[in-house]
A and B are shown apart, each in its own frame.
Chain A
Amino acid sequence: MREFGYQRATDVSGAVALLDADPHARFLGGGTNLVDLMKSGVERPARLVDVTALPLDRIEPTDDGGLRIGATVTNSDLAAHPLVRHRYPALTQAVLAGASGQLRNMATVGGNLLQRTRCAYFTDVTGPCNKREPGSGCPAARGEHHNHAILGASDHCVAVHPSDMGVALTAFDAVVSYETADGPGELPLADFYLPVGDTPHRETALPPGALITGVTLPPVPAAAHSRYRKVRERASYAFAIGSVAAALDVRDGVVRDARLALGAVASRPWRARAAERVLTGAAADAATFGAAADAELAAARPLPRNGYKVTLMRNLIVAVLTELAGPTRPAGPAQEAAR
């Protein structure tokens, strides 16, 4: 292991100043991804600025009925918070579907949004990867890619974003707040992740040196009736091969509001706006749900060995929407966690 410096920041401006002074420094949250990447040699920071002691660990209701979530709130605390459980149950379900109890106790909201893909070519420094070494090539496109992207990818990179939490936040129009040496800023999560294009190494629209300070969820009445489902290759402790965060407001058999986001299909959590357009104002029935899924997946460009994901996502979207529209209430977070 290479030697690196470590400093613990105690206030936001101090943390930003430390990073601003050193382009080879990185913010350290729970370390559940960054430390792994340092071990494998993907990340070689000269200095770590530990931000976990910053006063950003609170979850507070906003005046308009939304929530403001501090960047250093741990996944466990986020999932357990009563307001999250009641207003955005899919967010609790998404967080609890990720990683393990130990990791969720360490991982932070800010770090979760900035975690890197788990594409095995990205984490193996002995081979090429455009995301890790721009211009070196993408072996995944012709290699092992059965869990790679079907939406929004390019010839340069077909990796998927690994977050569960981010899928639910994306469905609910979360806005990311950050601080730079030049002052604070905001980015809707919809604009937070950059398109892959020919620059897969550039992942977010955050300015250089920016520190994520929190995430704000607007009020989404439909989200009180929301669901996250994740499919993976074992029952726990694996990244998704497909996931869906959805909220549905159905009155008199008609969809009044629909929120839908997909995970493990693209380089970012994928907001399914085409599907939402089909759903909104239509009858809450199987035909609508199937049409909504088809509308979103029409843009899918599967690779030779991941075509199953189109079928999987169609089935999953229909299943989750059917469940939300059904007469029975969906499983609450506690039930979901116990399964």
Chain B
Amino acid sequence: MTTTTTSTRTPAEPKGSVGSAHTRVEGRDKVTGTARYAGDIPFADLAYGWLVLSTVARGRVSSVETAPVLEMPGVLEVLHHGNAPRVDRDFNGLMGVPPDPTTGLFQDDRVPHMGWPVALVVAETPEQAREAAETLVVNYEAEPHDVDFSGARPDAYALDGHMPAVTEKGDLEEQLAASAVVVDAEYTTPEEHHSMMEPHAATARWDGGRLDVLDSNQGATWVQNDLAKLFSLDPGAVRVRSEHIGGGFGSKGLRAHQVAAVMAATVLQRPVRVTMTRRQMFSLAGYRSPTTQRVRLGADADGRLRALEHDSLNLTSSVHEYVEPSAGVARVMYDADAHRTVNRVVRLDVPTPTWMRAPGEAPGSFALESALDELAEKCGIDPIELRVRNDPERGPVSGLPFAGRNLVACFREGARRFGWADRDPRPGLRRDGRWLLGTGTAAASFFAGAGPSTARVTAEADGTFTVRIAASDLGTGARTALALVAADALGVPADRIRMHIGDSDFGPAMIAGGSMGTRSWAWAITAAAGELRERLALSGDVPPEGITVRSDTTEAVRALAQKERHSFGAQFAEVAVDPATGEVRVRRMLGIFAAGRIINPLTARSQLVGGMIWGISMALHEEAVRDSGSGGLVGADLAGYHVAANADVALVEADWIDDPDPEDPVGIKGIGEVGIVGAAAAIANAVWHATGVRHRHLPIRPDRVLLAGTATGTDTGGGADA
């Protein structure tokens, strides 16, 4: 894989640390193993909890046969609904919604889905706990379950999530009837899982009357707040730390493992660690719901949209309403005289889905940007030109101005570097040995926002500066980026900054989520640093305890004008398809993004490339398959759940155009999610260009390609390898 890029741009000479490449400040610790992750931190007297998950998809726990297990070596306790501490499940968490239902651990005998936590076995060693947990007999009264998701569910209903369920303007049927060209197609995406490298792990202990939790999460104050509410504690009595994190992608908020660890630590009055296994993550860590989306587009012969409808259905559990707002992407991307979007859900006996890398936009862009490509084909217009002609000046639904929309500039730059101008739009013409070749493109967007945060910056007597903020570095390089921001805000070299993050004692801060972390934290650090510089300018003397300034951006963030705020991007892909075997290979990808000011080009590129590689996985590999009979997943591990391997990732390049946000103190928008958005559509569109056949169902597996054939008939191949 190559990520080096040669740009003809002449970027402004970096005057400070921001904008120039820096390796991660904790990089050496990580590669030498010095960095401790949540499951690695040693404690005296540590006990280990092992979760026991239900083996039925719906019903009640009739009994838990604890006695034989309590006799096993090292076993200290078995917690279940009959003996676990009571918690308060009736609250909205820091994200404004109730916490995941599995965090209301062991409160009753109901089993709403396969893999529901029914017991925790605690023992002196993890091996003892595991063996006892696997021995524990739990009896159930099973009930019939329903896990079958389809677009034809009559019990689906429209539901607001963090955005309204339905938006509509104009007369859709009238505009469709008046359209010269119509696309009406259904697209589906499968159940997908975060499966970050580091499984969820938490250690809880009581320390001098305070609950101390060492965890791996996307927001220390988020987990602190939600644990405090769950256990009816004063937030000040709970401390959550999360120093190093091996990936989160939306999955690492409050989850069953932290609650289990706190319960056991409370009952046993000693430190208890609970770690999810890879298999348990597939039931307990959340996931992306499958979607069934219908897109209807109507356009004049020149491609101008008269009608746009985007209807998305996702599943949720019987105990929580989660919306995967896939139709939301149409509210940002394209306008039409008649415009209708709706997000619907259906409740099934399955685990509760959650946010996962570009929630809404990732599956939504697959449907919408595939449909745009189909429209371009039908109109005989270049796919980029079609998007240029339909680039709106204001938010299609909101009517608000865009706080920067450099999508067309991304397409222009990307087309130049990808060699798009030489493309023959006709499908199925290019061959390289047994491979048919094609190229495709798609647009990307993701919401760019900021959340209130607090930070403390201290001028130390030795001339260094210490920054404290409850930020989370998911492995993306946030700690390093914030050090660069602090250095520039203080007007000092980055090596004079000491960053301390991931501790709820540092005060409230935005989570690492929604592509909003770095922007939100940088804002708070910049504010505190600015005030500190003013104080230092007044008096150069720093007392031994240093001078500390605290900031709180709540008012400043709320004062932001109402606008359409998003990062944008243009994705390009070239694929090779063997129609005789159905194999699809991505030969190269290019993503050009307009995503605000880039703090650290080294780690930013890595994050964008990572998103694009995830897009390869989404397009070709990822799919969790649920068994109707058992109600559980089939092959819930990384042998059965495929993500792209290195051999699937050829040349992937990410770059950006200058796009600073003038209303952000640092110019940041956010790069966390946008890299995956549109990537699967670009690949699917390239597969069409290679074969002449549309693939509207992800992943584009060999069997699907093989059975779909090519527009000119199934080719049995036979040529030698290229």
Contact = CB atoms under 8 A, between A and B. Distances in A.
Given A312-B706, A319-B718, A235 B647 contact: yes
A314 B717 CA distance: 11
A144 B703 contact: no
Contact of B627 (A139, A308, A322, A330): A139
A286 B717 CA distance: 11
Interface string B590-634: 000000000000000000000000000000110001011110101
B625 A144 contact: yes
A233 B646 CA distance: 13
A237 to B, nearest CB: 5
A241 B621 CA distance: 14
Contact of B648 (A126, A142, A231, A236): A236
A102 interface: no
Interface string B617-659: 0001100010111101011110110101111100000000000
B716 A315 contact: yes
Given A41-B134, A233-B701, A308-B707, A238 B642 contact: yes
Contacts of B620: 233-234
B131 A241 contact: no
A183 interface: no
A144 B580 contact: no
A339 B581 contact: no
Contacts of B646: 236
A232 B621 CA distance: 11
A144 B627 contact: yes
Contacts of A120: 634-636, 640
A242 B581 CA distance: 9
Given A139-B630, A319-B434, A322-B718, A236 B647 contact: yes
A237 B716 CA distance: 25
Contacts of B434: 319
A237 B580 CA distance: 21
Interface string A1-18: 110000000000000000
A323 interface: yes
Contacts of B581: 231, 242, 312, 315-316, 319
B403 to A, nearest CB: 39
Contacts of A143: 627-630, 634
A286 B716 CA distance: 11
Interface centre among B630, B716, B717 (most CB of A within 10 A): B716
B131 A2 contact: yes
At the interface, is chain B mostly helix, strand, loop or mixed? Answer: loop
Determine the interface band of chain A, counting residues with CB < 8 A from chain B.
35 or more
Nearest to B127: A1
B585 interface: yes
B707 A311 contact: yes
Contacts of B130: 1
Interface string A235-266: 11110011000000000000000000000000
Contacts of A306: 703
Nearest to A323: B720
Contacts of A242: 581
A171 B604 CA distance: 50
B39 interface: no
Given A139-B629, A316-B580, A326 B134 contact: no
Nearest to A315: B580
B117 to A, nearest CB: 14
A236 B620 CA distance: 13
A126 B136 CA distance: 13
A127 interface: yes
A308 B708 CA distance: 10
A101 to B, nearest CB: 11
A331 B721 contact: yes
Interface in A301-326: 306, 308-309, 311-312, 314-316, 318-319, 322-323, 326
B702 interface: yes
B716 A319 contact: yes
Given A144-B627, A234-B621, A311 B706 contact: yes
A118 B718 contact: no
Nearest to A325: B718
A235 B585 contact: yes
B582 interface: yes
Contact of B718 (A139, A144, A235, A286): A286
B583 interface: yes
A126 B55 contact: yes
Interface in B560-595: 580-583, 585
A121 interface: yes
Interface string A64-92: 00000000000000000000000000000
B645 A308 contact: no
Contacts of A316: 580-581
Interface in A129-156: 139, 142-144, 146
Given A233-B621, A241-B703, A312-B582, 9 more contacts: A127-B632, A232-B702, A236-B648, A241-B702, A242-B581, A311-B707, A311-B714, A315-B717, A319-B434
15 contacts: A1-B130, A124-B632, A124-B636, A126-B55, A127-B55, A139-B627, A233-B701, A234-B642, A235-B645, A308-B702, A308-B706, A312-B581, A312-B706, A315-B717, A319-B580
Nearest 7 CB-CB pairings of A with B:
A120-B635, A236-B647, A235-B647, A308-B703, A322-B718, A315-B580, A144-B634
Interface of B: 55, 127, 130-131, 134, 434, 580-583, 585, 620-621, 625, 627-630, 632, 634-637, 639-640, 642, 644-648, 701-703, 706-707, 714, 716-721
